Structure 1
Amino acid sequence: MINLKKLFRRKKGQGALEYLFMIAAALIIIFVVVRYISSSGQQATQQGDIASLQSQAELGKSALQAKNWWDDTYKVKFEESDSSYYLNITTSADQQVTVIDITESAYKDDLNNLYDDNEVIDTNLGSLYTNCMQGNATACKVLAALGGT
């Protein structure tokens, strides 16, 4: 006959080992939760940054519309002369609409790097605006600089 007492007898240290596994599982759960919360916070910060850029781009568009310098087909070209930076707005037929000095813009260095690297592909105002509203920070910076930011 099988001795049930002997079969279910606990060995020394088995309780401590089970306790260690419970602590390890709790630490893993805490680590996963903290990691999830911190990544959510970073994502919210990034969304706040792009929302701020989008509102600056809206102000830029409004400023251009007020001066009658906005048309979806107008092209934007970055130009550098000495230590000054400009955005040149032209019609689709390459007739100059205006030149805006962005030397004092917060985004002049970003735009200088972007245009040097040929990263700005869509240079029509309409395309820039659409891309900005879809979350493209580069397009938002161009429009914000055009508006004087």
Structure 2
Amino acid sequence: MTRREFTFYIWTKYLRPILLICIILFCGNFLINNFRENSFNDILTIGTIIIIILSIYISFYFLGIFIDSLREKIVSKLPDSIKSLLRVLSNIIDFISPFIMGALIYYFWLKDKPIAIVLTLVILIQKISHFIKSKEGNESKLKQ
């Protein structure tokens, strides 16, 4: 293992989760103190909204890590026929999910515009991070 691989391994396995947990704790502390000291009308500031979005994103990040680890453990024990069926279902869900998310955003836009904006931002951030990860994966394949 080279120095770069070791540093990347330490960052992804240990340092990044610790950093994200610290961010969640500081955001939660800020929100709790903000709720205690201010009235409800003063709470909806831009900073608070940004921290709420950041907390939601980090929570989804950890939830994704947890689901990925469970999926790897479960799928590794399944027979090949079920694995191929799961791949087909995954492709169908990947195709349908933008339509479902679009319908959800439209529904929330009609009911409550801030929820639709937050949902759109979360989806956009997720798509950008997925695009960056896939691009990094393609670049590492080209180097090999």
- TM normalised by structure 1 equals 0.28
Asked which structure has the greater RCO (Cα within 8 Å, sep 6+), the reply is 1
- TM normalised by structure 2 equals 0.29
Q: Could you say which structure has the higher strand fraction? A: 1
